[in-house]
Structure 1
Amino acid sequence: MHLWADSNSGFQGDELLHIETGNNLAFGYMEFPPLIGVLAFIQNLFQSEAVMVHHIFPHIAAILIIILVSKITVELGGKTKAVLLVLTCIIIAPAFGRSQQLFQPVVFSQLFWVLNFFLLLKYIKYLDKKYLWYLTLTTALAFLTKYDAVFFVFGVSALLFFRFTRLALFRDKFWWNIFVFILLISPNLIWQVLNDFPVLKMFDRLYETQLVKQAPIEVVQGLFMALNPLTLFITIPAIISMFHNSTKAYKPLKVSVLLSVIFLAFSQGKSYYFYPIVLTILPFGGVFWVHTILPKRKWLIYPTGIILLTGVFLIPFGMPIFPLKSYLKYDYPFENREVVKDGQFNVRFDERYSKEKWAVTLKELKNVYDSLPNREKNNTIIWGKHYAQAGAVNLFNERYDLPEAFSLHGSFYNWVPKGEMPETTIGLGYNVGDFFKGYFEEVIKVKTIYNPYSETEEEQHQHIYICKNPKQTFNELKTLFNDRVFE
């Protein structure tokens, strides 16, 4: 399904930023840790602009998630029926369909979360020192993938609450594991220090603009719909099993999940922040069904399986398995959405329409660039106000024979050229008003590009400007934007 969805997808905006990190390897980035840059670097070796090529690692991660969740279910005592119930819940959940398709840290965070949970389970079950060392290494990789690994680390502290795991930790001299973990993540921590902790500025901006505005009930509702309401047949038993007939061996495991949930809830995380935790809870539901419900009512497996399978009708809401035109026909009878002013077909999730959006945008940029005198064309650069705009230009610039683009938004801030700005800059922005006039003596709006599929009114129109005679150098421009990187 993911491969099929690739054929109907363009690139989601954040993916264009992540792809560009592969051309700018570093020990850290403004919004996320460095591992995504290493993966992007490998994908970029193919020198391809194809969606499927840049989704190689997400697809591998999705396969490994399926395998690891299955192995967790088996380790907890489940067999074929339990595994099938759990995996069906994953397949029918729009949440996992979309998040595991895109080239973002999210899918790799899910992978390392379930891998770490599997190793934690193995350590609790067998108290074998090697699993503690495996867990140390994979948790460090998780931290270098996405900072939400701190929620998992907080949950692991549950091992200290129980005598048998606490004794095992002291026997295995766990402080060396802590030392090695800190050592492994230290390059990124040092990068953050040297760059004045940009990730904290990003989180401040995120809380200011998004997280503080969301009510807990909205998070729960969003999670409920994203996971598919039908999965409640498994998630509710999973939650019940966390507090019902808990064996001594698995109590630390369950408390670790509970601690992670509590920490994440108090941090006002978005609904998708909980996806990795859900992947670790579902196996408990599958095992509970097999061991507690089915022995007394074996016939329930058939109606339950059929009900879960009807959830496939929600899959198109998570993955673009339909072409855009077909999706519009499928989507509108079922989804009650607010219509964007003057919009025609506003569509959630820009990967559904960005293939068409960027093709139109880059053709218009090409027309504007070709209209410049030859002496200017050789010394022209494109300024994308949003990092997705700069990322799209840099990914497709060879096809359209365009110059490189820069941006002062997000991690692109660190990749701005040095020295004097060229006499002519082509500006590309959404509804930015007089933004470019503050940095050039002459600014002329030459094109407006309409996007009928935009989910928000702010991104319904893109504007192209010809900007001449810059008022500052690149270095001075960076100074002006030092506190505006995430605006």
Structure 2
Amino acid sequence: MNALTVSPQKNNPLWLLAILLIAKILLQYLVVNPCYDLHRDEYLHLDMANHLAGGYLSVPPLTSWNSLLIQWLGNTEFWVRFFPALYGVLTMLLTWKMINMLGGSWFAQLLAGVAFLCSGMTRIHMFYQPNSVDILAWTIILWLLIKYINNPKDTYIIWIGIVLGVGILNKYNILFFAVGLLVALILTPLRAVFRKNAFYTAIGLAVLIALPNIIWQVKHGYPVLHHMQELAETQLVHNNRMDFITGQLIFFLGGAFLTVAGLLALLFYKPFRPYRSIAIIYFVTILLFVYLKAKSYYSLGLYPTLLAFGSTYWEQLFQRWKYMRLLWLAVIVFPFVLILNAAFPLLKPEGVAREAARFKALGLSRWEDGKEHEIPQDFADMLGWREMSALGLKAWQQVPEAEKKHTLVLCDNYGQAGALNYFNKGKMPFAVAMEADYVFWFPKTDTVRYVIKIGHGPDSTASKGIGNIQRIGKLSDPFAREYGWGTEVYLLSGFTGDVHSLLQQRLQKKQQSYMAQ
């Protein structure tokens, strides 16, 4: 097999591809118990459709456009879960096509497809977050790079620039991958692209596509720098570099032998020698993430391509021992089945709590605060939102009709505000919070006479200017993360002028804190 003259497989069965893609879509719906709501981050991402802009504090604008499409389709949980599943399907399709370009047969494609399904990729595609598009963008670029190595057309370079630009509009994480790509170009014969006009055209297109977000960042004082600093101080500080490295293997469970085989094949398998730039991209990107103590899933965009190389190589290694094919599939599927209830919210929270020791042994009970909890953080972040929103609506119904236009719905965090806006849209005013992007979405507050407060009650300073503090209710789900924070719902009224002034001061201070100095 020669990488430059390899003949793609012509007759690989499309029915097998169809089965794998359909299985991927169905699996994403089946791994979530209906008792769970959406994740707190998903509510924020969906709310961005109501505040379209060139950027946001936590993500670039592409997510908001996708959220607008979901809104047009009805804004139901079905469509919220559909899009990450769709991006997973497209990533699987590209992996299939890469194997075809490398000369792998249907079995190599089956291996890669099953490994993709029976991995943490299913967990990533369970949530409506930028990660699914991020992984897809990395995979598209590597697919285009393979096509360019096989047939060096300028068109592929141009498309790499376009996808990179779109990737930046989705998640800044792709910039670390871009560094790895640049180093690979410098260290391999691919450096010839530096003499091509297409390379600089591609860079120009990437910048042009990302320009709306660049302009937004400049106008808002580069809040991305504040977000990165906050992330490093509150979450990444608890990460361990060795955990990141081991996470690269754990993520693919029984299928890890294929990703390892893919990396080894890129380094030592002679027919894959022309593709060694991909190994350089891998190592440079991984080293950057290790240095930054990144979360283990940040690098996942590298792995669909490694699966393609690993599956093709593994098929070649055992070409004479075809009777072992069922064994390799079993090695992939069996561990996944064993941890299915632990890795995904299939059990009800009570069932998860009963098996707390098992979750702890698998390292799934440690939250971003570095502490062990009763259920995984992601599961806890999917509970209590309907109940909380119902309490918020109950408070709204107690506001006198004449005062409703002078009512502010104020939350402690973005999850609360996003959930209220998702479940109660059209029934009460849009909720805001002194956190995340909501600090820039506040309505005018100078005429506010009623406040529906979600979270904690007013502090001692604010309480002095509030004539009436009515407690509506408290979140009762003990497994919800919000329950641990003591989330309650209050109806506040009878304000003095000092409260309005205090609210404005705190809002302005919070807005300024998000501007990088």
TM-score computed with the length of structure 1 as normaliser: 0.88
Does the 8 Å contact 1:113/1:149 carry over to 2? yes
For 2:360, which of 336, 349, 372 is the aligned residue?
Answer: 336
1-side partners of 2:481 and 2:502: how far apart?
Answer: 36
Corresponding letter in the other structure for 2:348: L
Task: Please state if 1:481 is matched with 2:510.
Answer: yes
1-side partners of 2:366 and 2:184: how far apart?
Answer: 50
Task: Determine the structure 2 residue equivalent to 1:380.
Answer: 407
Classify 1:140/1:331 alpha carbon distance in 2 versus 1 (closer, same or farther; 3 Å): farther
- Cα offset, 1:148, TM superposition: 0.7
Corresponding letter in the other structure for 1:23: N
For 1:53, which of 79, 101, 115 is the aligned residue?
Answer: 79
Does the 8 Å contact 2:417/2:432 carry over to 1? yes
Task: Please state if 1:77 is matched with 2:103.
Answer: yes
Task: Determine the structure 1 residue equivalent to 2:487.
Answer: 462
Task: Determine the structure 1 residue equivalent to 2:208.
Answer: 183
Task: Determine the structure 2 residue equivalent to 1:391.
Answer: 418
- Cα offset, 1:479, TM superposition: 0.9
Does the 8 Å contact 1:421/1:474 carry over to 2? no
2-side partners of 1:467 and 1:160: how far apart?
Answer: 61
Classify 1:270/1:381 alpha carbon distance in 2 versus 1 (closer, same or farther; 3 Å): same
Does the 8 Å contact 2:475/2:483 carry over to 1? no
Describe how 1:296-445 pairs up with structure 2 within 5 A: 297-310=321-334, 311-320=336-345, 322=346, 324=348, 328=352, 332=356, 334-336=358-360, 346-350=374-378, 354=382, 357-398=384-425, 401-429=427-455, 432=456, 435=459, 437-438=461-462, 441-442=465-466, 444=469
Task: Please state if 1:100 is matched with 2:125.
Answer: yes
Task: Determine the structure 1 residue equivalent to 2:291.
Answer: 266
Classify 1:333/1:260 alpha carbon distance in 2 versus 1 (closer, same or farther; 3 Å): closer
- Cα offset, 1:83, TM superposition: 1.4
Deviations 1:303-361 (A, max 9, x none): 221221212333343444x3626954895574337699xxxx94325457736x12211
2-side partners of 1:153 and 1:70: how far apart?
Answer: 24
Corresponding letter in the other structure for 2:428: L
Deviations 1:434-457 (A, max 9, x none): 548548712736132232213587
Corresponding letter in the other structure for 1:42: L
Deviations 1:253-298 (A, max 9, x none): 222222222222222210111221222222222122112x203544
Residue 203 of structure 1 aligns to a residue whose secondary structure is: helix
User: Please, what is the CA RMSD of the aligned residues?
Assistant: 2.9
Residue 196 of structure 1 aligns to a residue whose secondary structure is: coil
Task: Determine the structure 2 residue equivalent to 1:138.
Answer: 163
Residue 453 of structure 2 aligns to a residue whose secondary structure is: strand
Task: Determine the structure 1 residue equivalent to 2:154.
Answer: 129
- Cα offset, 1:398, TM superposition: 4.0
1-side partners of 2:300 and 2:381: how far apart?
Answer: 25
Corresponding letter in the other structure for 2:255: T
Does the 8 Å contact 1:379/1:422 carry over to 2? yes
2-side partners of 1:208 and 1:482: how far apart?
Answer: 19
Does the 8 Å contact 1:444/1:467 carry over to 2? yes
1-side partners of 2:83 and 2:366: how far apart?
Answer: 35
Deviations 1:16-43 (A, max 9, x none): 0000111111111111111001111111
- Cα offset, 1:51, TM superposition: 0.9
Equivalenced residue count is: 472
Classify 1:162/1:328 alpha carbon distance in 2 versus 1 (closer, same or farther; 3 Å): closer
- Cα offset, 1:125, TM superposition: 1.8
Does the 8 Å contact 1:10/1:352 carry over to 2? no
- Cα offset, 1:68, TM superposition: 0.9
2-side partners of 1:464 and 1:329: how far apart?
Answer: 27
Does the 8 Å contact 1:238/1:286 carry over to 2? yes
Residue 382 of structure 1 aligns to a residue whose secondary structure is: strand
Describe how 1:161-172 pairs up with structure 2 within 5 A: 161=186, 164-172=189-197
Which range moved further: 443-452 or 202-211? 443-452
Task: Please state if 1:282 is matched with 2:307.
Answer: yes
Task: Determine the structure 1 residue equivalent to 2:259.
Answer: 235
Task: Please state if 1:25 is matched with 2:49.
Answer: no
2-side partners of 1:236 and 1:205: how far apart?
Answer: 34
Which range moved further: 246-255 or 98-107? 246-255
- Cα offset, 1:174, TM superposition: 1.5
User: What residue ranges of structure 2 are gaps of 5+ in the alignment?
Assistant: 1-26, 368-372
For 1:451, which of 462, 477, 480 is the aligned residue?
Answer: 477
Task: Please state if 1:38 is matched with 2:62.
Answer: no
1-side partners of 2:308 and 2:350: how far apart?
Answer: 35
2-side partners of 1:419 and 1:371: how far apart?
Answer: 20
Which range moved further: 299-308 or 385-394? 299-308
- Cα offset, 1:15, TM superposition: 0.3
Corresponding letter in the other structure for 2:510: F
Task: Determine the structure 2 residue equivalent to 1:2.
Answer: 28
Deviations 1:382-416 (A, max 9, x none): 111111100111111147x3332111211112211
- Cα offset, 1:162, TM superposition: 5.0
- Cα offset, 1:167, TM superposition: 2.3
Residue 101 of structure 1 aligns to a residue whose secondary structure is: coil
Corresponding letter in the other structure for 2:300: Y
Which range moved further: 151-160 or 468-477? 468-477
2-side partners of 1:66 and 1:15: how far apart?
Answer: 23
Corresponding letter in the other structure for 2:430: E
2-side partners of 1:42 and 1:462: how far apart?
Answer: 32
Task: Please state if 1:471 is matched with 2:491.
Answer: no
Corresponding letter in the other structure for 1:426: I
